[in-house]
Structure 1
Amino acid sequence: MRTYSARLTNNFDGEWELFVVTDGLSLNWPEHSFERVGPVPTVQERADVLAALGFAVVDGAGWAWLECPAGPMDRVELLASVDVQRNDGAA
């Protein structure tokens, strides 16, 4: 089964958003905004959003976190990613 990458990150306003990188244009990637700066969305919240978008975390996969500093005095952006697959079994 084909896998995709789901990503959780802060948008320009610092709010958490989740999107799935698919083969299409980025404008068409499935996405969801949690509309909050904190706290970080829980694993269950992320799983629920992925299910609503038609995806599920691949068995055995876990969220990997990466810190993306823009500069020594700038706000650090966090990015988490996990492998997902479509819920409907489509490729």
Structure 2
Amino acid sequence: MSTWRAQMASDGGPWSLYVVVYGESEWPTVQWESGPVPTGAQRREALASLGYELAPGAEWSWIEDSQKPDDDSTPVVLIAAVDVREQEGATA
């Protein structure tokens, strides 16, 4: 079964979770309007709503970046990533 990369990002505003599907002009996306970092359960539910699930053994990894590369005085952008696969019987 094929795997894709799901990413979740925020620069202090809303959180966006999306599945990177190369060759597509729009990627499957879920956005949380505000609040704290979405929980693991909320992320699983969001992925399921898009027709995906975590790949076996996959774990979220986190990195941080800045809004302007090479300028650490700009706000931090947090980015999480995990491998996902289509849910059994789902059409994404």
Query: TM-score normalised to the size of structure 2?
Result: 0.85
Segments of 4+ moved more than 4 angstroms: none
Structure 2: which 5+ residue stretches go unaligned? none
Determine the structure 1 residue equivalent to 2:23: 24
Q: How many Å separate the matches in 2 of 1:30 and 1:49?
A: 10
Question: Match for 1:79: what amino acid?
Answer: I
Gaps of 5+ in 1: none
Tell me the residue number matched to 2:82. 82
Percent identical among aligned pairs is: 38
Q: 1:23 offset after TM fit, Å?
A: 2.7
- Secondary structure at the residue paired with 2:62? strand
Rounded to whole Å, the distance in 2 between the matches of 1:78 and 1:31 is 17
Quote how far apart the aligned CAs of 1:33 are.
0.6
Confirm whether residue 63 of structure 1 aligns to residue 60 of structure 2.
yes
Q: Deviation per CA, 1:16-60, whole angstroms, max 9, x where unpaired? A: 0100001332x4210011111x30000000000000000000111
Structure 2 letter corresponding to 1:64:
S
Contact 2:65 2:76 in 1 (8 A): yes
Give aligned pairs, total. 87
